[in-house]
Structure 1
Amino acid sequence: MNENDRDTDALVGEWMTLKEAAKELNVSPNRVKQFISDHKLLGVRRKGELCIPAAFVSEGDVVKGLPGTLTVLADSGFTTDEALQWMFTPDDSLPGAPIEALNENRGTEVRRRAQAMAF
């Protein structure tokens, strides 16, 4: 594991494997892979296995506002690692990390910041 992976792991905290995410979302692991391809979720390899941040799933569904935010970040040229760093890094102006704001139903504020970074 390289230093960037350790930094990301420290920010993200808990990860879910594809199987765990599929079970939580009540879909197949292939559907979770499609969510990743469609920028509805972000997936990275951890110990050889594709995983997603556990914070991206809440109450059996993808966190509200996450897919739109991830699409804005992808369209802005963010890599997966950069998007993960941004989603989990605390921002005093929100306050908290963008993923925390999404979980608190403050998606408009998060997307506004993501769009502003694109310009």
Structure 2
Amino acid sequence: MTQSDMDIDALVGEWLTLKEAAQPLGVSPNRIKTLIRENRLMGVVRGGELSIPAAFVDGHDLVKGLPGTVMLLSDAGFSTEEALRWLFTPDDSLPGTPIQAMRENRGTEVRRRAQSMAF
């Protein structure tokens, strides 16, 4: 595991395998993989398995606004690692992390910031 992987793990915390993520969402692991391929979700290989941050799942759905925000970050040229870093790094002006703000239904401000970085 590289230093960068360890840094991301420290920021993200808990990871879900595709199978673990698919269960509460009521979809197949292949659907999660498709969302990743379509840049609507981000996944990285952890322990030999493709996984997503547990914070991306909110009950029986993805966090509101997450697919659009992930797409914005991808369109802005962010790599998966850079996007994960941005989503999970505390921002005093929010306050909290962008993913926390999205989980608290404050996604409009998060998307505004993502859009401003894209242009």
TM bracket, shorter-chain basis: over 0.9
> Larger deviation: 34-43 or 56-65?
34-43
Structure 2 unaligned residues grouped into runs of 5+: none
Structure 1 unaligned residues grouped into runs of 5+: none
**Ranges of 4+ aligned residues in structure 1 off by more than 3 Å:** none
CA-atom RMSD, angstroms?
Answer: 0.6
Number of aligned residue pairs: 119
Counterpart in 2 of 1:18?
18
Question: 1:67-82 residue pairs with structure 2 within 5 A?
Answer: 67-82=67-82
Counterpart in 2 of 1:60?
60
Counterpart in 2 of 1:34?
34
Note the C-alpha offset of 1:40.
2.0
Quote the Cα distance in structure 2 between the aligned partners of 1:57 and 1:38: 17
Quote the Cα distance in structure 1 between the aligned partners of 2:89 and 2:61: 22
Give % identity.
Answer: 68
TM-score by length of 2: 0.98
Summarize deviations over 1:49-83 as a string: whole Å, max 9, x none.
00000000011101001011101100000000000
